[in-house]
Amino acid sequence: MTRAGFIALAGRPNVGKSTLVNGLVGRKVAIVSDKPQTTRRAIRGVASDDDVQLVLVDLPGVQRPRDELTRRMQQKVEAELAGSDAALLVLNAEEGVGPGDRFIAAALRASPVPVVVVLNKVDRLRRPQIAQALVAAAALEVGDDIFPISARTGEGVEALRAHLRGLVPESPFLFPVEDRSDQPLDVQLAELVREQVLKRTFQEVPHAVEVQVEDLERPREDLTVVKARVWVETESQKGILIGSGGAMIKRIGTTARRELERELGTRVHLELAVRVRRGWRADERLLDRLGID
């Protein structure tokens, strides 16, 4: 008998959902950044063992829609929650419970699926602070179980995994056992490039950047050629990304290439082109092409 099901991770932006998904899966399937709104698609990470498969859905951070991009992100959150077998409400223990957490908790209380509260980043707190955070989490009155964890260090993650195994129904596996993500390869590679952009840019630039892999070739068994386009909204953002004498885009390309080589298992030749598309976050046709549905 096998069990399998979908576990949706809900929470405010930047509470550590992507890091938790990666920890449960055992490899990087969702990019990680300290910038809010890093996750724009519902990324499914697949964690399989002998008889249980957990399909972990890393949802975009719940937020009030401001444009077509964030409207689509919010719609994806609602649709994925409706189709899940259980949900995790991920809280940032270091920041404490705020209005955004209470808003999400209220939505989850109306959900028919079991809810587990995950208190993340407890490695940054002392014991009395953790106790206070647990009291605040319990006051949300959503779900019956609270797991204090550190997705970054792995503390408490195995206990959470064991609990989740009991929440999914009897079912054949939903994905091949060797799969770790449902994202197409070009999207996975584009996200790894975007992760390096996020690490090196500030203010409005991270929110205005999207990456699209336009061509993927393997001329030799040991070499992959990746051509990617980096979209921004203004000429000034393009100038920041390229940098003086091309220094910034070169640094981004160098670190991104290393990530792509780890993912593909081959040497990578990466070509990056920065292009301006004013208002792309409101451009439905471009969002369709980028796979943000």
User: Domain for residue 170, yes or no?
Assistant: no
User: Domain for residue 174, yes or no?
Assistant: no
The alpha carbon torsion through 72, 75, 80, 83 (nearest 10 deg) reads -140
pLDDT value at residue 86: 94
User: Which of 133, 273, 147 is CA-nearest to residue 213?
Assistant: 273
Looking at the structure, do residues 145 and 208 belong to the same domain, yes or no? no
Which amino acid does the sequence have at 256? A
**Long-range contacts of residues 203-212, Cβ cutoff 8 Å, at least 24 apart:** 204/237, 205/232, 205/237, 205/240, 205/241, 206/33, 206/35, 207/35, 207/37, 208/232, 208/233, 208/234, 208/237, 208/281, 209/237, 209/241, 210/40, 210/280, 210/290, 212/289, 212/290
pTM above 0.85, yes or no: no
* CATH code, 75: 3.40.50.300
Longest dimension (CA), the chain: 60
User: Domain for residue 194, yes or no?
Assistant: yes
Looking at the structure, do residues 159 and 202 belong to the same domain, yes or no? no
Which amino acid does the sequence have at 199? K
User: Domain for residue 42, yes or no?
Assistant: yes
- Domain region containing 219: 185-289
Cα 38 from Cα 15, distance rounded (Å): 11
- Residues of the chain scoring pLDDT < 50: none
pLDDT value at residue 100: 86
Looking at the structure, do residues 105 and 193 belong to the same domain, yes or no? no
